[in-house]
Amino acid sequence: MSEDILLGGPVSFLRTELGFSVPERLLAYQAWWEAEGFSLSLAIDRGGTPHLQQYDAQGQRIDKVLYPPSYEYLLNEGYRAGVVYEVAERHNWLFSMLLGFITSYYDPGLACPYTVSLATWIPTYKYYHGPRREEFLTVLARRDPPFGQGATWMTEIGGGSDLGTHVHTLAYRCNGKEWRLEGEKYFASNVGADLAVVAARPQGAPPGPRGLALFLVPRLSHGNPPQLNYFVRRLKPKIGTRSVPTGEIELRHAEAYLIGEAEQGIYYLMELLNFSRVANALGVVAHGLHALAQAYRFAQGRRLFGRSLAEQPLFRHELAQHYQRLRWAAGLAWLSARGFEGVWLERAPYSADYALFRLITHLAKFWTAKVALAAAQWSVEIWGGLGVLSEFPIERFVRELMVTDIWEGTRHRHLLDGWEVLQRYPLIEKLESLWDLSAVDASLLPDLKHALRQPEEVVLPHLESLLTRLAQAIGQSAARPPALGMWAHGSSSSSSSTSGGSNS
């Protein structure tokens, strides 16, 4: 590995290791983070996180999230750079994802509002054609402050892995026409959003995931004057990603707008979750790279036994190992991103390309998080006792990556879902034709084929090991030129965008 690439920040990595031509305004965005953003981000993490004001001076419920001025400044910089409007106006996904990668290098919590805002825009644009459609889309795609924000609220107290069982929020008709929601969401990120996508079960719908529908819930109801449409019980104290407000939401006769067809809700839900998983995979790789850069800078200044730690053979060997795994993880994450770019306009029933995208995304979500967290833990070890002190930035990398490890589904969820894709679709031959996996792991494909013939109780104890090998092999193959294989130029005809146009 080249230390110059590592110390050059996210843009240097994107250019050198993945071959991206990064637009000038994203170079300026990284320069801004280096000059101002990261120091503000550290200060916010230590004590300037958002607070909740539930009542105004007249005793009226307002549930307003109060951001420190520096947080709004940080947040607005990404919206101003075009993280949402580039997608909304030109479907320029690559630009948005590059911006998210740079943001996550410094602060993955701050990247969350951008991700969920986009995840709100997608089903609104793609499936919603009812009242206030243009208003909702315009709010989310603002070019100037105050920027509109979205949110995706699915999880209730029972957890998020089995939404079919644990979503109890009820959707019912008011006056036989308008939809209303009644229920609670226990982990609701980006509280205070102008518009949220909410999972609920329409009255009379069957149990299980097939009974779920998606609704748009604006912060303010449609009326004169507008009324608060959802309530915030509290903001949650978290060990990491403190720069995004996460809270508990109460929906009490909340005005809601059904997205698409109620019977298709589970498909819409999985589509937006898969997008968030792509963003998560990109973000953790970026943050893991930053942890390694901080470890290397520290090692340059620490002298042991007559020379710097950065010159010690064991340090250099381990640094190179972590960097190489993150490089492979980046290859896998960007495969997932390019796959999304090619299939995001597809609707159920999906194509074989969509099945491949799903598999790559499940692999990327669990494996990139594992690799990045290991890099951050090693970086703390390099700093030694200083690494666990909150006055230094290094312990934060572990805290952030422990949270992103379980965002959008835990490891077990993605192992099981990835295996389900392999069982349902004939993808082994597709994998063989796209990447030379045998050159990386000679027994991988035979082992996969053998496992697919075995009963579940035989396979599951070994599933993590098997799919970790598959994730690493694909990532390792994708990290070689040409880095992004079949999706290098946005091959799917279902996308209106290829590689992001002239800006990318």
150-263: CATH topology: Butyryl-CoA Dehydrogenase, subunit A; domain 2 (2.40.110)
What average pLDDT does range 246-268 have in this prediction? 97
Tell me the one-letter amino acid at 479.
Answer: A
Tell me the one-letter amino acid at 443.
Answer: S
Task: Decide: helix, strand or coil at residue 309.
Answer: helix
Question: Rounded distance, CA 237 to CA 1, Å?
Answer: 38
Q: Is 478 exposed, middle or buried (0-12, 13-18, 19+ CB in 10 A)?
A: buried
Instruction: Say if residue 321's pLDDT is above 70.
Output: yes
Domain ranges in the chain are: 7-140, 150-263, 266-503
Instruction: Say if residue 57's pLDDT is above 90.
Output: yes
Geometric angle at alpha carbon 413, from 409 and 416, rounded to 5°: 155
pLDDT of residue 480: 66
> What class is the 266-503 domain?
mainly alpha
Q: Cβ distance 198 to 120 under 8 Å? A: no
Geometric angle at alpha carbon 197, from 70 and 281, rounded to 5°: 65
> Phi and psi for 292 in degrees, rounded to 5?
-65, -40
pLDDT of residue 162: 87
> Phi and psi for 403 in degrees, rounded to 5?
-75, -50
pLDDT of residue 109: 95
What is the secondary structure of 85-127 as a DSSP string? Answer: HHHHHH--HHHHHHHHHHHHHH-HHHHHHHHHHHHHHHHHHHH
Q: What is the mean pLDDT of the chain?
A: 92
- 503 or 80, which is more confident: 80
Q: Which helix (H) or strand (E) holds 195?
A: strand 195-202
Q: 79 is written with which tokens?
A: 């919206």
pLDDT digits (tens, 9 = 90+) for 346-390: 999 999 999 999 999 999 999 999 999 999 999 999 999 999 999
CA quadruple 309, 311, 313, 316: dihedral, nearest 10 = 80
- 492 or 335, which is more confident: 335
Pairing of strands 231-235, 170-174: unpaired
Pairing of strands 51-55, 61-66: antiparallel
Q: 292 is written with which tokens?
A: 């390694």
pLDDT of residue 177: 87
Of all residues in the chain, the percent with pLDDT exceeding 70 is 95
Instruction: Say if residue 322's pLDDT is above 50.
Output: yes
What is the band of 223 on the pLDDT scale with cuts at 50, 70, 90? confident
What average pLDDT does range 57-85 have in this prediction? 93
Q: Which helix (H) or strand (E) holds 421?
A: helix 411-424
